Amino acid sequence: MMPRTMNNKYCVVCGDKATGYNFNALTCESCKAFFRRNALKKIPKCKFQSNCVIDIVMRRMCAFCRLNKCIECGMKKVSTRSPRIRGSTPNHLLTESTGTLGVDLERRGQGVSAHEN
């Protein structure tokens, strides 16, 4: 399914058709995804003079200048989620107070049936 675009609204970062407000700025899906992936990372410096033109054609050429433009356009790093560790289990699934899930995991690990003590 294609993302909806906002009628006559354009991404403040690259000028593509905007799909909504993301991280506090009106952006397209591409800039939203780019910012989500890169806002908290250390991006290598620009190979040129840190003044690359970021538009719909050139937005993939320089991550450093694109991230700077995202921030200049009002996108906020604090609105991003911290990255999860691949393969980790969310904390709410690890507690024993989760009801049957905690019991099911305990039974699987120890081979104890529900009626044994």
> Which phi and psi angles does 94 have, rounded to 5°?
-90, -20
**Domains of the chain, first to last:** 20-79 (3.30.50.10)
Q: What is the mean pLDDT of residues 34-46?
A: 95
| pLDDT mean over 6-35 | 96
48's tokens: 């040129």
Residue with tokens 């024993």: 96
pLDDT at res. 7? 75
Q: Would you say the pTM of this structure is higher than 0.75? A: no
Single out the residue of 66, 57, 71, 65 nearest to residue 23, CA to CA.
71
Greater pLDDT, 38 or 81? 38
pLDDT at 77: 87
Cα 89 from Cα 53, distance rounded (Å) = 41
Largest CA distance in the chain: 71
Rounded to an integer, what distance in angstroms lies between the CA atom of residue 24 and that of residue 9? 15
Give the pLDDT confidence of 73-97 residue by residue, as tens digits. 999 988 666 666 556 565 555 555 4
- Token code pair at residue 103: 């019991």
For 13, which DSSP code?
A: T
**Which residues is 10 bridged to in the sheet?**
17
50 versus 111: which is more confidently predicted?
50
